[in-house]
Structure formats: C-alpha cells, structure tokens
C-alpha cells in the first residue's frame, strides 16, 4: 500500500467538528490526505480541537469548490454509503473495498468519497465512482455519523495493509510454552486430590465436576508458568488443610 496515494474526500461537510473527528480517525489509521469539497464552515476552531493530535491533517487539508477539482487526478474512486441505494453499480462492503484500495494505491491515486451528514452522496456523485462501498448498518438504526463511517473504512484499510503481519492466537510468540498434555494431567490429578481434601469433591459421587473443570482449563490453554502457579496454590492449600487438621 502507498498511503500517499490515498485521499479522503468529504463532500459538503456541514459541521466543523465532524471534519476534526475525521482527521483524527484518519491519523489513527495512517492516512493523512484530506480534501474538503465546499465545506459549509471551514476553517473553524472546533475542527482544530476535535482533531486533537491530528491538527496537521486539518492544517494541510485541501479545500476545493467542486468534486471535479477533488478527484480530477484520481484513477480509482470509491463512493461510500450507509444505505443500499440499489444502483446497478459494483458494490462491496468496507472490508472488501479496503482490500481493493490497498491494492490499487500501490500504483494509482485513490479517492474515497464521503457525503453530506444528512443525505450522503447523491446519485450523480456516486456515478463518478468506480466502486460503491456499502456499510451494512442495522436496519433498526441506519444513521451513521460521518466520522464513524470514515473510521470504519480507514480501519479496514489499515487491517488490509497489515494482513499477514499480525500474529494469530495459535502462532503468537507467547512468553512461555503452552503446557503439555502430560503436565495438564498431573495438574488435574493434583486439583482433584486437593478438592477431595477440601471436601468440595465427594469421590463417591463426583458427578461432572472434574469434567467441567477440565473443559474450563482446556478452553483457556495454560502455559508452563501458569500451571506451576496453580499447582503451587494447590500445594499450599493442602498444607494449610493438614496443619489445621493436626491442631
């Protein structure tokens, strides 16, 4: 991905606070080119303080009067919408759209268009786009704040950029090796003996207690150090039980 080839374009934003929040969302995810098409109120102090540490994006934002000026040199244009407008046009969700943006940005200039807070992009503006990005909000409440929409798309771009570089749960570099099956069996034996001494477990009627405890610990996946800590607790528990029994 070449982030320098990606620009976020806000079409007729009406609230300066939203512009600041958009700048912050962009910087969180490594994007820094913001274009404002005929903003209703900009520059404005509210945009500055809402941007927090992303003031540089606000200061360097390009302000133009028309969409033509904003996307004239773009080779791939994406239009976003929180609603399914049923226009016969290529439509993808934010995740798939982000993958396309990351791929295209390597050699092409990409513009991501976000529409007005109250009405989004109009049909004419959407017809200027190569791809439509639909954000499938819940039908009970479909309204999506401008900065939230930008955050969703920018986040997916960031995740697409990092694909294959983030460790999964299984291959992460855990600080200690996971416990072996044999170590876990020693632990379960130790746990069962301790519960019997505590009279919490009746060996004559164990029911499903140890099965449920096995399911609990197996779901967590203990490492070597964690097993040692737990067995240390069990050992100390049994010592205290025996000392009280001799008093």
Identify the pLDDT of residue 221.
Answer: 83
Query: Which ranges of the chain would DSSP assign to H, the alpha helix?
Result: 16-28, 45-51, 55-59, 67-71, 94-104, 123-126, 146-162, 181-197, 209-220, 224-246
How many whole angstroms separate alpha carbon 151 and alpha carbon 29?
8
Cross-strand bridge partners of residue 78:
112, 131
pLDDT digits 0-9 by tens, 120-152? 899 899 889 999 998 888 889 878 899 999 999
- CATH 1.10.8.590 in the chain is located at 181-246
**CATH code that applies to domain 181-246:** 1.10.8.590
With contact defined as beta carbons under 8 Å apart, do 44 and 68 qualify?
Answer: no
pLDDT digit of tens for each residue in the chain (247 aa)? 999 999 999 999 999 999 999 999 999 999 999 999 999 999 999 999 999 999 999 999 999 999 999 999 999 999 987 555 555 667 899 999 999 999 999 999 999 999 998 888 998 998 899 999 988 888 898 788 999 999 999 999 999 999 866 555 554 567 788 889 999 999 999 999 999 999 999 988 888 999 999 999 998 888 999 999 999 999 999 999 888 877 6
The set of residues, in sequence order, having a beta carbon less than 8 Å from that of 145 and lying 6+ positions away, is 18, 117
If phi > 0 it is left, if psi is from -120 to 50 it is alpha, else beta; for residue 242 that is alpha
Alpha-carbon torsion 54, 58, 61, 65, what sign?
Answer: positive
User: What φ, ψ does residue 225 adopt, rounded to 5°?
Assistant: -65, -40
Q: Domain 3-162 is classified in which CATH homologous superfamily?
A: SPOUT methyltransferase, trefoil knot domain (3.40.1280.10)
- CATH 3.40.1280.10 in the chain is located at 3-162
């Amino acid at each position: 991905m070449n982030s320098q080839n990606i620009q976020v374009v806000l079409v007729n934003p009406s609230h300066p606070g939203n512009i600041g929040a958009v700048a912050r969302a962009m910087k969180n995810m490594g994007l820094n080119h913001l274009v404002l098409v005929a903003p209703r109120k900009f520059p404005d102090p509210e945009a500055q303080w809402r941007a927090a540490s992303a003031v540089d994006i606000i200061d360097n934002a390009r302000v133009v009067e028309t969409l033509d000026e904003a996307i004239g040199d773009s080779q791939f244009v994406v239009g976003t919408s929180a609603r399914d407008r049923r226009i016969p046009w290529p439509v993808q969700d934010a995740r798939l759209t982000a993958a396309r943006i990351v791929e295209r940005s390597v050699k092409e200039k990409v513009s991501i268009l976000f529409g007005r807070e109250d009405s989004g992009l109009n049909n004419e503006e959407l017809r200027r786009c190569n791809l439509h990005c639909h954000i499938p909000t819940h039908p009970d409440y479909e309204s999506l704040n401008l900065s939230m929409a930008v955050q969703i798309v920018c986040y997916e771009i960031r995740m697409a950029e990092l694909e294959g570089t983030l460790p999964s749960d299984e291959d992460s570099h855990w600080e200690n090796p996971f416990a072996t099956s044999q170590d876990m069996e020693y632990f379960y034996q130790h746990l069962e003996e301790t519960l019997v001494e505590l009279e919490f477990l009746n060996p004559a009627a164990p029911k499903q207690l140890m099965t449920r405890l096995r399911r609990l610990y197996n779901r967590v996946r203990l490492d070597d150090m964690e097993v040692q800590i737990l067995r240390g607790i069990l050992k100390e528990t049994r010592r205290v039980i025996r000392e009280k029994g001799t008093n």
